[in-house]
């Protein structure tokens, strides 16, 4: 095996890291696109319904997905562009149910349309933003600091994937 590392410079290492960051950014955008496609496929099966005090029904879960997709998508954009969030994370969590209830008054088709548009904007941000910009961090309150990439990966994409799986179970036949 040819030994190459002694000739590496710090610029080479930075270039390799930039390649890896670029790859990760595109994989994250792919995950969000896959989740969005799964949601679009499920959408026609979600019926308008208003629940009670128990677990969320499919319509309410869809409303929650719409809320998280908008909120965390905007947060990714704001942090990656160097803007500070205008709300802390805990405050957003406390508002979640109120906003989710308001959103659940919309028709499922409208919720899906809005959500897919939000995903498309976030996917565009992920694909077009320089990897270094996605490494910008913001104070989200209560001692929580996250980079734009972490926000996209954890509270947006991972959270979305979990809820889509939950939605698939709710809409499963039988």
Instruction: Please give the pLDDT value at position 21.
Output: 87
Task: Name the pairing type of β-strands 137-139 and 145-147.
Answer: antiparallel
Instruction: Please give the pLDDT value at position 118.
Output: 98
Note whether 142 and 88 are within 8 A (CB): yes
**Smallest Cα–Cα separation from 41: which of 49, 30, 33?**
33
Q: Which residues, given as ranges, of the chain have pLDDT below 70?
A: 4-5, 51-53, 86-87
Ranges of each domain in the chain:
8-171
At residue 97's C-alpha, the angle toward residues 93 and 99, to 5°, is: 95
Instruction: Please give the pLDDT value at position 73.
Output: 96
**Smallest Cα–Cα separation from 136: which of 21, 30, 28, 32?**
21
What global pTM score does this model have?
0.89
Give the separation between CA 120 and CA 69, rounded to whole angstroms: 10
Kindly report the CATH number that applies to the domain delimited by 8-171: 1.20.120.450
Instruction: Please give the pLDDT value at position 35.
Output: 98
Instruction: Please give the pLDDT value at position 53.
Output: 66
Note whether 78 and 140 are within 8 A (CB): no
Half-sphere exposure of residue 132, counting CA atoms within 13 Å on the CB side? 3
- The token duo for 9 is 């410079």
Residue recorded with tokens 């930075």: 14
How many residues are present in the chain? Answer: 174
Cα dihedral across residues 42, 47, 48, 53: positive or negative = negative
Cα dihedral across residues 16, 139, 73, 90: positive or negative = positive
């Amino acid at each position: 095996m040819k030994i190459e590392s002694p000739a590496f410079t710090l610029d080479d290492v930075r270039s390799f890291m930039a390649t890896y960051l670029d790859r990760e950014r595109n994989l994250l955008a792919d995950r969000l696109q896959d989740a969005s496609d799964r949601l679009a496929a499920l959408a026609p099966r979600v019926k308008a319904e208003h629940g009670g005090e128990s677990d969320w029904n499919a319509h309410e879960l869809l409303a929650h997905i719409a809320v998280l997709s908008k909120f965390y998508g905007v947060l990714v954009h704001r942090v990656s562009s160097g803007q500070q969030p205008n709300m802390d994370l805990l405050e957003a969590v406390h508002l979640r149910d109120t906003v989710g209830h308001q959103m659940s008054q919309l028709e499922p088709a409208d919720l899906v349309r809005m959500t897919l548009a939000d995903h498309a904007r976030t996917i565009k941000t992920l694909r077009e933003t320089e990897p270094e910009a996605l490494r910008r961090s913001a104070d989200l309150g209560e001692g929580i600091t996250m980079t734009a990439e972490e926000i996209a990966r954890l509270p947006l994409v991972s959270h979305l994937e979990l809820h889509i799986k939950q939605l698939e179970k709710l809409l499963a036949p039988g």
